[in-house]
Amino acid sequence: MLCFHQLQSMAPLTFLPSLLLSLLLSLSHFPTPSLSDTGSIGINYGRVADNLPQPSKVVQLLKTQGMNRVKLYDTDSTVLTALSGSGIRVTVALPNEQLSSAAAAQSYTDSWVQSNIAAFYPSTQIEAIAVGNEVFADPKNTTVYLVPAMQNVYNSLVKYNLSSIKVSSPIALSALQASYPSSAGSFKSDLIEPVIKPMLSFLQKTGSPLMANVYPFFAYTGNTDVISPDYALFNANQSEAQVDSGNGLRYNSLFEAQIDAVFAAMNALQYNGVKLEVTETGWPSKGDENEAGASGANAAAYNGNLVRRVLTGGGTPLRPNEPLNVFLFALFNENQKPGPTSERNYGLFYPNEEKVYDIPLTVEGLSNSSSESTPVNGSKTQVPTPAAGSGGDVSAATTAGQTWCVANGKAEVEQLQKGLDYACGEGGADCRPIQKDATCYDPNTVEAHASYAFNSYYQMKSRGPGTCNFGGAAYVVTQPPKYGTCEFPTGY
């Protein structure tokens, strides 16, 4: 991770009114939501420290915490051996210092792949290779080598029948020329032709995602006069959401706004089909005096809210049907990292394996936890489930520990109707209150009726993971929805 204090998209999701349609309760089939609709949480295992536990103990820690994805910054043989047979999926890295050699000759990448990938795979479940890290910001000017190195690594994987392993490269958001509003997202003009287009073309052809390191903390701490802490920490309520002036989308978090700025930049170059994986994001538990917002409470709030947001499913306002896949930064506080105090305090754990603060990291952990996360010092910070979009009027009161499922106002009417039909049909939701003349019939819109039906199904299924998605037509909120005088149930 490199430190960048850039103003990054305070962006967007305006609620579009739905068309007024009569409720049709036909029984057309709609697929049952599944865990595949939700995103994944992984963690970065950095080792710039002299006091970390042995890799074998780290693997046990990961398994104890239910973490099944980890990202490394190299291909250390001791670490890869420790991960063998663990069932943990691994992203490894070819460091920036090796890019020029990797770009110069495939014989170099052949040897590298044989020694660092083939020697451990498949016992160690290597799923991706990060070629370089934030290369465009590398002061050693290694940008010119990036795409040739990626291509040679991929060619070597193909040569040794390992082409299922994805190849990408994490970019910093400093690669964007514009990020606010999100709809104006664009890459720096001097990078587009030499490297951005060739890289995106490579990713498109190989089916690999663009990797991006996304840090609302940097944007917030450098711009506290224009970015609210609630917006940076996923705590913004409906009135504090940011509306993108370019496309009318409403954003409840800076994180989603930043991601959509990257999507908009790719869309502008006609690479709409390339997916994105967040390879780093986090919040420091400690910082220098000039690092506003660096605290244990804020770190617990950011990471706790982020995990809940990712694991409850759905994508960003611009791409609502693409679940978020995120790697938290980082597993440990690393005492030898250079730079400001924050750089050494991003860890979820101290080197002695004690938690810096306590947040759930898995779906099971979310279901067993309250809506509060607790730093080690005992203070508590509210961690509500963030919304993935907008949907109807929401009352100001938040009920701790409760969640509801509502329709995504940006979804097509046909999609909402299909989900509504499924919920009220074979889904078994109680849709009697939205029948004509019943208590929740008004307002008579597909969106309002779908919200009621989606929530009935969600509550009936005990608010289980994947039960509030309906193909991207729904999302979870933590404030009780209100359409007219209709009250939504919280359980059955």
Active site residues: 134, 280
CA atoms within 13 Å, Cβ hemisphere of 231: 25
Which residues make Cβ contacts (< 8 Å) with residue 237, sequence separation at least 6? Answer: 230, 394, 396, 479
Answer positive or negative: Cα dihedral of 435, 439, 445, 450. negative
Task: Identify which of 413, 395, 407 has the alpha carbon closest to the alpha carbon of residue 468.
Answer: 407
Structure tokens at 56: 């074998």
CA-nearest of 40, 39, 47, 125 to 88 is: 125
Spatial CA neighbour of 236 closest among 305, 328, 310, 282:
305
Q: Which tokens sit at 212?
A: 């991006």
The count of C-alpha atoms lying within 13 angstroms of the C-alpha of 154, restricted to the half-sphere facing its C-beta, is 17
E-only strand ranges, 67-165: 69-71, 89-94, 125-131
Backbone angles phi, psi at 216, to 5 degrees: -55, -30
**Quick one: DSSP state of residue 320?**
T
Instruction: Give the N- to C-terminal CA distance of the chain in Å, as an integer.
Output: 46
Identify the CA nearest to 471 among candidates 429, 420, 434: 420
Instruction: Identify whether the C-beta of residue 13 lies closer than 8 Å to the C-beta of residue 410.
Output: yes
